[in-house]
Amino acid sequence: MATFSSSPAWRALSDHSDAVGTLHSLFERDPHRASRYSLEVAGLFVDFSKNPVDDTTMSLLTALAREAGVEQRRDAMFAGERINETENRAVLHVALRERSSNKRIVDGVEVSGAVAAVLAKMRTFSDAVRSGAWRGYTGREITDVVNIGIGGSDLGPRMVCEALKPYGHERLSLHFVSNVDGADIAEVLKRTNPDTTLFIVSSKTFTTRETLTNARTARAWLLASGAPEEAVAKHFVAVSTNTSAVAEFGIDTANMFQFWDWVGGRYSLWSAIGLPIAVQIGMDGFEQLLDGAHAMDRHFAEAPLERNLPAILAMLGVWHQNFRGATSQLIAPYDNYLHRLPAYLQQLDMESNGKSVTLGGQRVDYATGAVIWGEPGTNGQHAFFQLLHQGTAVIPVDMIVCMRPHHGLSHHHDILVANCFAQSEALMNGSASTSEPHRNFEGNRPSNTICIDLLTPAALGALIALYEHKVFVQGVVWRINSFDQWGVELGKQLATAIEADIAASGEASTHDSSTNALINRYRARRNQTLVAA
Ligand code: G6Q
């Protein structure tokens, strides 16, 4: 049977790969290239002209996407079909941002009403915390809100809360605890007071070891401060799909915010997992975030692939990854508020497309998901940008920059933006020094520039949805299931046996010699007192 990589569109792209000129020559040949290779959607202007592609490349990439069935698969997702086949689930985070009278049926059950009801409950709760009506057990207003969750129950809300800090509430400080490393929660508890701190325990399954360990530590801290057992109801709420586990933990299920198994962890910030966002910026702001994402959804669902922004960015990624030898993708936000975006996109992209088996169960014979990494500009320029300019690897870059800042330091902003534009220009053009090879910059290095007028909740919603759909399209092209995460599930089981060995008496002997020795070393030393020399 012919594999995907020997399909007509794939072969045509392989044959075409060497025929594309350098970026420099492509710009020289076409004075209108910048306007022809850019799009404005849902408040985002994206210039993708600095990618080594011509019209033939673009039409072959679109043909590849069509051949892979991107449009059918997209329509199936929006229709609520169970496209997450290995978990036999629908994938409907797009339904969370519809906010219309559109009635959604999932598995025969009407869910729009339930979505609206959870949004209304989030509004009541976030309004109460923000206004000061929701008080701690001593009657004082809440000053600190701590989200306890990990992975999809942490990265999205954490990134959005950082990005939308300018919209934050004066009295409230948001904190995020994810790591089972006690240092994470210890540092937060050091800076907060039990009677004015509210914990949101976020876990889809409510079985995740890290989250439950941190939540128990937080509860013990509250009670150890002298708070009575009833105080737990005023200081703990939960976001989960697992009502019985929430009740078992001791959180009043009246204070539980529900979501559903058709919302994947890394796609869940739009659900009640976004509660910290609603608390920080208010429910109106949260709904603007949803609306921004919805505008991108409409575009993705309706625009032809030729003018479809998520599809274009996805296919450019496929071009770099499968035909030009790239293996990673740099995310460079020229915006400090977006400093968590690379970490967020790492999960979105790498957990979705870090797969090597097709939906049909075959091992792929082509590259799939890229390694995603990044840091805000201009910091990266003084560190790893050296490798972008003169290293041997080709690393496509997404530069993200806002036209207007949230602060009044316009001089800073001019310098920031100048750096962003200068980097993409230099990566594209390079510069030749005939006398000194070490000063030679080859250029021809690809980048996209994403321009946002002002980083509002709506613009951020559109940006996140753009990446979600980009990742989706790539997964379809690579014939993989972007919606499962068996590697994560494995991780959830792995430590259990070693935890038991650490707790047991006698030497560990059931593992390989390296693992046994490491366990025994830890056991011998963990209680040793450090004696100053
Ligand atoms: C996301 C993954 C994973 C998950 C965490 C937390 O898509 O499934 O990152 O979000 O493992 O899981 P819980 O929300 O169930 O605690």
**Pair 147, 177: CB distance under 8 Å:** yes
CA distance 266 to 483: 9
Whose Cα sits closest to atom 10 in ligand 1? 152
- Specify the pLDDT at position 533: 56
| pLDDT tens-digit map of 264-320 | 999 999 999 999 999 999 999 999 999 999 999 999 999 999 999 999 999 999 999
CB atoms within 10 A of CB 196: 16
Q: Which residue has the tokens 């009295």?
A: 171
Instruction: Please confirm, yes or no, whether 492 is among the known catalytic residues.
Output: yes
> How many Cα neighbours within 13 Å face the side chain of 146?
27
Can you tell me the mean pLDDT for 80-90? Answer: 93
| pLDDT tens-digit map of 514-526 | 999 999 999 999 9
The pair of three-digit structure tokens given for residue 28, joined into one six-digit string: 């020289």
Instruction: Please confirm, yes or no, whether 412 is among the known catalytic residues.
Output: no
Instruction: Please confirm, yes or no, whether 50 is among the known catalytic residues.
Output: no
The pair of three-digit structure tokens given for residue 206, joined into one six-digit string: 């409510």
Distance 152 CA to ligand 1 centre (A): 5
Nearest-atom index, ligand 1, CA of 150 = 6
| pLDDT tens-digit map of 37-67 | 999 999 999 999 999 999 999 999 999 999 9
Among 153, 241, 267, residue to substitute to test ligand 1 (most atoms within 8 Å of Cβ): 153
Whose Cα sits closest to atom 8 in ligand 1? 265
For residue 183, pLDDT over 80 is answered with yes
Report strand pairing: 44-47 vs 447-452: antiparallel
Nearest-atom index, ligand 1, CA of 240 = 14
The residue with greater pLDDT, 78 or 101, is 78
- Specify the pLDDT at position 126: 98
Selected catalytic residue, list 16, 169, 492, 511 = 492
- Specify the pLDDT at position 423: 97
Can you tell me the mean pLDDT for 157-167? Answer: 98
Selected catalytic residue, list 351, 468, 469, 470 = 351
CA distance 372 to 332: 11
Nearest-atom index, ligand 1, CA of 205 = 15
CA distance 474 to 352: 10
Q: At what angle do helices 309-318 and 457-477 cross, to 10 degrees?
A: 50
| pLDDT tens-digit map of 65-74 | 999 999 999 9
| pLDDT tens-digit map of 194-233 | 999 999 999 999 999 999 999 999 999 999 999 999 999 9
Rounded to the nearest angstrom, the gap between the alpha carbon of residue 410 and the centroid of all alpha carbons in its chain is 29
CA distance 500 to 507: 12
Selected catalytic residue, list 190, 382, 411, 438 = 382
Distance 262 CA to ligand 1 centre (A): 13
Nearest-atom index, ligand 1, CA of 151 = 9
| pLDDT tens-digit map of 314-357 | 999 999 999 999 999 999 999 999 999 999 999 999 999 999 99
For residue 531, pLDDT over 80 is answered with no
Distance 96 CA to ligand 1 centre (A): 18
Among 87, 93, 150, residue to substitute to test ligand 1 (most atoms within 8 Å of Cβ): 150
Q: How long, in residues, is the chain?
A: 533
- Specify the pLDDT at position 1: 45
CA distance 326 to 371: 10
**Angstrom distances, CA of residue 451 to CA of 302, 308, 333, 417:** 22, 17, 10, 10
Distance 129 CA to ligand 1 centre (A): 26
| pLDDT tens-digit map of 426-457 | 999 998 777 888 988 989 999 999 999 999 99
Q: Which residue has the tokens 């609603």?
A: 278
Distance 316 CA to ligand 1 centre (A): 29
Distance 179 CA to ligand 1 centre (A): 13
**Pair 133, 279: CB distance under 8 Å:** no
For residue 140, pLDDT over 50 is answered with yes
**Pair 299, 180: CB distance under 8 Å:** no
Distance 85 CA to ligand 1 centre (A): 18
Percent of the chain at pLDDT > 70 equals 99
Ligand 1 contacts (CB < 6 A) are: 150-153, 203-205, 208, 211, 264-266, 351, 485, 488
**Pair 475, 308: CB distance under 8 Å:** no
Tell me the one-letter amino acid at 121.
K
Among 260, 353, 488, residue to substitute to test ligand 1 (most atoms within 8 Å of Cβ): 488
Tell me the one-letter amino acid at 125.
F
The pair of three-digit structure tokens given for residue 417, joined into one six-digit string: 């933006």
